[in-house]
């Protein structure tokens, strides 16, 4: 009987140890998720700062922005761009498409804060959708991502993206 009793106590102790181990693993996973979200936020901020720094020190972006600021409409601005400037803005639009796609996927996976997504990402999407139709031939992949872009376009009465009509 004493060995049976000792066996029960050992089994109980082992089970308690397993339970404590599981709890510690859950705490560590939660900490890792928090750390990942912080790293994503820092990476996003670093990317923005690098982009602004590049544009600030650029030989061509200030001229493009001055043309935008002095144009009375987006149509006038696009018409005022040289072919080289137009291509630079087109590449920038491609960068925005891919940056937004990454943020959209991070949000879907729970790595991007809802408030940030609902404010900054929506504002960035609104700016993209206001200019996207000036750059035909850009391909955007992912039906859920396209649905998101178009939901923002509809919200602000902007032209939606239709992959079937893209030349």
Q: What are the backbone dihedrals phi and psi of residue 86, each rounded to the nearest 5 degrees, phi first?
A: -60, -45
From the first residue on, what is the mean pLDDT of each consecutive set of 10 residues in the chain (167 residues)? 80 86 85 79 79 85 94 95 96 93 90 87 95 91 94 95 78
106-111 contacts: CB < 8 A, separation 24 or more? 106/40, 108/144, 110/33, 111/36, 111/37, 111/40
Q: What is the structure's pLDDT at 77?
A: 96
- Boundaries of every domain in the chain: 1-52, 58-167
Model-level pTM? 0.74
* CA separation for the pair 33, 96 (Å, rounded): 26
């Amino acid at each position: 009987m004493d060995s049976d009793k000792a066996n029960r106590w050992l089994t109980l102790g082992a089970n308690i140890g397993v339970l404590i181990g599981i709890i510690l693993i859950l705490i560590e996973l939660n900490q890792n998720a928090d750390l990942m979200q912080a790293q994503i936020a820092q990476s996003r901020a670093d990317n923005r700062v690098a982009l602004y720094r590049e544009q600030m020190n650029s030989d061509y972006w200030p001229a493009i922005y001055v043309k935008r600021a002095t144009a009375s409409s987006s149509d006038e601005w696009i018409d005022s761009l040289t072919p080289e400037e137009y291509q630079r803005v087109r590449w920038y639009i491609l960068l925005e498409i891919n940056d937004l796609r990454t943020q959209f996927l991070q949000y879907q996976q729970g790595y991007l804060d809802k408030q940030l997504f609902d404010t900054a990402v929506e504002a960035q999407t609104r700016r993209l959708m206001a200019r996207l139709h000036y750059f035909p031939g850009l391909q955007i992949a992912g039906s859920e991502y396209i649905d998101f872009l178009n939901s923002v376009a509809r919200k602000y009465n902007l032209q939606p993206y239709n992959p079937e009509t893209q030349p």
